[in-house]
Structure 1
Amino acid sequence: MNEAIRKLQPQKVWNKFADLNAVPRPSKKEERVIEFMKDFGKNLGLDTKVDEVGNVIIKKPATKGLEDRTPIVMQSHLDMVHQKNNDTDFDFDSQGIEMYVDGDWVRAKGTTLGADNGLGVATIMAVLESKTIEHPPLEALFTIDEETGMTGAMGLKGGLLNGKILLNLDTEEDDEIGVGCAGGVDVTAKKNYAQMDAADQYDAHVYRITLKGLQGGHSGMDIIKGLGNANKLMNRLLFATRDVMHLASLKGGSLRNAIPRESVAVVVVPKGQENAFKSEIKKISGEIFNEFISLEPDLEIVTDKIEDRPAKVLKQDEQLKFLKAMYAAHNGVFRMSPSIENLVETSNNIAKVTVVDGTMTIECLTRSSVESSKENLATSLQSVFELAGFNVTFAGEYPGWAPKMDSPILKVMRELYVKLNNEEPHVAACHAGLECGILGQNYPQMDMISFGPTIKGAHSPDERASISSTQKYWKFVLETLKNIP
């Protein structure tokens, strides 16, 4: 299956991408891909080291004639988001990604593709391996754990790199040159809740509510689209039926940086309340379908009667507090940038919600390019959850990357883009969390830029990479390397 990928142009890039995607590389489990990358550098005879947190650094001298150019760092992250469809049988810890060609797109069979940021990694590998590509003194930086905390970038110490220009290859539109990004913080609300015996509800019926088929996607780049959030939509169903059911368990979403696509709740409906329960579910489901008919055409809400009776359910007062907190907690765009058109400044993704065995947990990722606005939204969420009796913690905080419109490398790349494509690039900040802001803390004088090929649906099983865009991007990479001042 992946052999078809290896025949695509540019072959140097797609072959390295296929090699990389054969290696399992979930965030926080990057041991195999670190070893893979270390062996790759050493087999090329290049200076290769792994720092104390697991980042891999490979250094390559300049090609002949470019020794006096400004030394550069090419950077991408090794880990990938692991998401799969419910009906896909796949073990991310042991299997390589199964890819196929679909017109102009490369996709994976029922899972994320890993183009984020695997195509960036493959690009750098192709440059390192080549004996003909012209480039200045080069340091390749492969960071770990970008997707679940950016701990690789955070752990990179000053003094390890000599480059003066950083080329981050983690942007997902080929006409965009990135000059800034949002910072973020993980907001987690957790509490133990009082339960009562489900057996107390004589002749009750048990139902499983499944909400699925949402698009999901990147909680930064795609948050502006207003896509359905499975956790918020499920809460509407549960809130509407709060007086005629007892919640036994709930599980929605999986990763903080992915908009949740699915949610499953198990509820106990007392005798005599079945018709009211079904009626409310039907009514609210219809409202949701009407609201999202153009955005979420594959949305499904299925209510099944099941035989397995849960032992415990939430007490009514605990249930009401939880549902009200979920209703009040902000999800989606919080504020648009007043200075950059169509840029989300601040947002929140209610990413993962679990209610099981006496413990409920709500996991959010709050993003903003303005630190004060990020703190404002995080405090708003904290207030809502604490009023409902949750303990709230903040973790994994990372800074944004402030745009520098007078950047020398921006000037060079802007002119090259126009020369190659006969049009102006879109110079912009993004609402995703790039590593540039973090890396800039220990390398404040480094001139930074971000760019990449077009990738759609990142962080979801609909992730796909454009073949023609990758060809366009590769030419841009080669011209940039030749023209570093």
Structure 2
Amino acid sequence: MSRILEGYRPERVLYYFEEISKIPRCSGNEKQISDYLVDWAKSKNLEVYQDEYHNVVIYKKGTPGYENSPTVVLQGHMDMVCEKNEDTVHDFDNDPIKLVVKEDHIHADGTTLGADNGIAVAMNLAILESDDIPHPPLEVLITSDEETGMTGAMNVDPSVLKGRILLNLDSEGEGIFTAGCAGGGRINFSSKIDRKEGKYSKKYRIGIKGLVGGHSGVEIHLDRANANKLMGRLLFKLREFAEIEDVQGGSADNAIPREAFAVASTDDSDKLKSEVEEMEKTFRNEYAFSDAGIVIEIQEVEESICEVFSDDFLDRYLKLINLVPYGPLKINRDIDLVIQSNNPGVVKIEDGFLKVKCAARSSIATLRDDFCDQMVQLGEATGFEVEKRAFYPGWEYAKESYIRDLCADVFKEEFGTEAKVEAIHAGLECGFFIEKIPEMDAVSFGPEMHDIHTPDEHLSISSTERTYNLVKSILKKIK
């Protein structure tokens, strides 16, 4: 059976990318991909380490002439954000990602692609298996659960790493070297649902769809709509003449939610439809320049009326979802960088509880702590329990960096143009490694990819080849 990516370059990188795309690896479900990496390393007679968190380190000695060169840590993460379009039939726990090539880009068929960060894993395996790429001693670190809390990086034992130069391959813009990032974490709200007997005769499923979505650390400043926030506004308008049975939206707290759904019952169908149409016009007008594809679909449901949210519970939920902040909260205007934001990425009902899951980010610890205090107060005011978890450190931009300067110099030699060096609002695992090993000198980069954390995610093939060649050239210079 022929491979989808057969014939494209870099051949071995794309071979491994296709191989790992066959392995389910949503965040929290990484055992299979972790074991694959261990078995692969053993098959190549490479020393390998695996911990209880499914982190994997693969060791390779330096090539001739590089035996005594400084050890380099090549790093990426094995997990991926698992999102799909509503009409896509896909079981992320069992089904392989279906790859599609469109001109220069690799897409998935109705799901996230997992190039974030599968392409780093693929590059590292291609380097490890090669016997003709000059390089210093390597420690390839592939972490788990990066997307939902960085718990893999948080729990890496620093004693398994001897390298003090870190090349993190978890960035998405070619020609950009990242050398600093925000910290952040998760703030989750939860309340047991109080229900009552429904009194209205007609039931409707309402869906807000067509939003662009995106990565809550990369696209948060682009004024893209948040489907959970829009649904909160809509349900507030409907509450006087409709009852709500169900609400849900988003599938990853660090992805701007593209879709949200609710089930409402009413005796005034005309008014319901009129309000939905009016709010669709309102949303499309408000986001005409940044998220123009918003649609609200409404469909009558034939099921019998079930128990609905009590008046008090609906009121508490609407106050929470409509008051919880979304988007940039503070911006450094000198460098045009978001330094604080929040994304209510997931609304779901689970085991009789309604849960709202947020990804909060901040470059300044005091702002982070104050925001957490505000969210505790919001929870107290609305009767929702608040959980703060998986907070990770920021990565301060170093005044001096050997590897940052080397990467910029090699890029200019390779392409004849200056690379961009920046700090970003999105979170990277580098902060954990530098916190554990203060003398670690780090930089992050990667090939061109777009719309990560959404089913529109796509990876440039030509950029992948250029970036892979760049990694090899950088390794050659570290001697």
What is the 5 A alignment of 1:190-229? Answer: 190-198=190-198, 200-201=199-200, 204-229=201-226
Say yes or no: does 1:320 pair with 2:315: yes
Say yes or no: does 1:439 pair with 2:436: no
- 3-state SS of 1:39 partner: helix
Task: Identify the residue that residue 374 of structure 1 maps to in structure 2.
Answer: 368
Distance 2:350 2:27 in 1: 25
Residue 150 to residue 285, structure 1, CA distance change in 2 (3 Å)? same
Distance 1:2 1:292 in 2: 44
What is the 5 A alignment of 1:421-460? Answer: 421-460=415-454
Q: Is the 2:280–2:294 Cα contact (8 Å) retained in structure 1?
A: no
Say yes or no: does 1:157 pair with 2:157: yes
CA displacement, residues 403-440 of structure 1 (integer Å, 9 cap, x when unaligned): 11411111111111112122221111122221111122
1:73 Cα deviation (Å)?
A: 0.5
Question: Aligned residue pairs: how many?
Answer: 479
Distance 1:310 1:373 in 2: 45
Task: Identify the residue that residue 359 of structure 2 maps to in structure 1.
Answer: 365
Distance 1:148 1:358 in 2: 23
Q: For 1:263, which of 242, 254, 260 is the aligned residue?
A: 260
Distance 1:89 1:281 in 2: 28
What is the 5 A alignment of 1:84-123? Answer: 84-123=84-123
Normalising by the residue count of structure 1, what TM-score does the alignment of the two structures yield? 0.95
Task: Identify the residue that residue 49 of structure 2 maps to in structure 1.
Answer: 49
Residue 287 to residue 162, structure 1, CA distance change in 2 (3 Å)? same
Say yes or no: does 1:390 pair with 2:384: yes
Amino acid at match of 1:24: P
Amino acid at match of 1:172: E
Distance 1:92 1:359 in 2: 24
Say yes or no: does 1:241 pair with 2:235: no
Q: Is the 1:76–1:169 Cα contact (8 Å) retained in structure 2?
A: yes
Distance 1:311 1:95 in 2: 34
Task: Identify the residue that residue 353 of structure 1 maps to in structure 2.
Answer: 347
Q: Which moved more, 1:134-143 or 1:330-339?
A: 330-339
CA displacement, residues 365-421 of structure 1 (integer Å, 9 cap, x when unaligned): 101121112222232233223211111111111111111141111111111111212
Distance 2:43 2:350 in 1: 49
Distance 2:188 2:435 in 1: 26
- 3-state SS of 2:256 partner: coil
Residue 103 to residue 405, structure 1, CA distance change in 2 (3 Å)? farther
1:135 Cα deviation (Å)?
A: 0.4
Task: Identify the residue that residue 472 of structure 1 maps to in structure 2.
Answer: 466
Say yes or no: does 1:308 pair with 2:296: no
1:125 Cα deviation (Å)?
A: 0.5
Residue 358 to residue 310, structure 1, CA distance change in 2 (3 Å)? farther
Residue 465 to residue 14, structure 1, CA distance change in 2 (3 Å)? same
Q: Is the 2:276–2:296 Cα contact (8 Å) retained in structure 1?
A: no
- 3-state SS of 2:360 partner: strand
Q: Is the 1:195–1:358 Cα contact (8 Å) retained in structure 2?
A: no
Distance 2:51 2:249 in 1: 36
Runs (5+) with no aligned partner, structure 2: none
CA displacement, residues 205-253 of structure 1 (integer Å, 9 cap, x when unaligned): 2111111121222111111111111100111111112211111111111
Residue 355 to residue 3, structure 1, CA distance change in 2 (3 Å)? closer
Q: For 1:280, which of 275, 292, 307 is the aligned residue?
A: 275
Task: Identify the residue that residue 140 of structure 2 maps to in structure 1.
Answer: 140
1:362 Cα deviation (Å)?
A: 1.1
Runs (5+) with no aligned partner, structure 1: none
Distance 2:11 2:45 in 1: 22
Q: Is the 1:2–1:98 Cα contact (8 Å) retained in structure 2?
A: no
Distance 2:405 2:385 in 1: 48
1:131 Cα deviation (Å)?
A: 0.4
- 3-state SS of 1:224 partner: coil
Indicate the RMSD between aligned Cα atoms, in angstroms. Answer: 1.6
Distance 1:151 1:359 in 2: 25
- 3-state SS of 2:303 partner: coil
CA displacement, residues 421-463 of structure 1 (integer Å, 9 cap, x when unaligned): 2222111112222111112222111111101001101111101
Q: Which moved more, 1:466-475 or 1:126-135?
A: 466-475
Q: Is the 1:2–1:100 Cα contact (8 Å) retained in structure 2?
A: no
Residue 2 to residue 169, structure 1, CA distance change in 2 (3 Å)? farther
Q: Is the 2:284–2:293 Cα contact (8 Å) retained in structure 1?
A: no
Q: Is the 2:379–2:385 Cα contact (8 Å) retained in structure 1?
A: yes
Amino acid at match of 1:109: D
Distance 1:268 1:149 in 2: 37
Say yes or no: does 1:337 pair with 2:332: yes
1:483 Cα deviation (Å)?
A: 0.6
Amino acid at match of 1:230: A
1:20 Cα deviation (Å)?
A: 1.4
Distance 1:356 1:266 in 2: 16
Q: Is the 1:248–1:265 Cα contact (8 Å) retained in structure 2?
A: yes
1:357 Cα deviation (Å)?
A: 7.6
Task: Identify the residue that residue 129 of structure 2 maps to in structure 1.
Answer: 129
- 3-state SS of 1:6 partner: coil
- 3-state SS of 1:223 partner: coil
Q: For 1:402, which of 388, 396, 402 is the aligned residue?
A: 396
CA displacement, residues 142-170 of structure 1 (integer Å, 9 cap, x when unaligned): 11111112111111112111101011000
Distance 1:352 1:309 in 2: 27
- 3-state SS of 2:389 partner: strand
Residue 35 to residue 289, structure 1, CA distance change in 2 (3 Å)? same
Q: Is the 1:88–1:110 Cα contact (8 Å) retained in structure 2?
A: yes
Amino acid at match of 1:289: R
Residue 22 to residue 54, structure 1, CA distance change in 2 (3 Å)? same
- 3-state SS of 2:372 partner: helix
Distance 1:19 1:47 in 2: 21
1:338 Cα deviation (Å)?
A: 4.3
Distance 2:141 2:354 in 1: 39
1:356 Cα deviation (Å)?
A: 7.1
1:176 Cα deviation (Å)?
A: 0.8
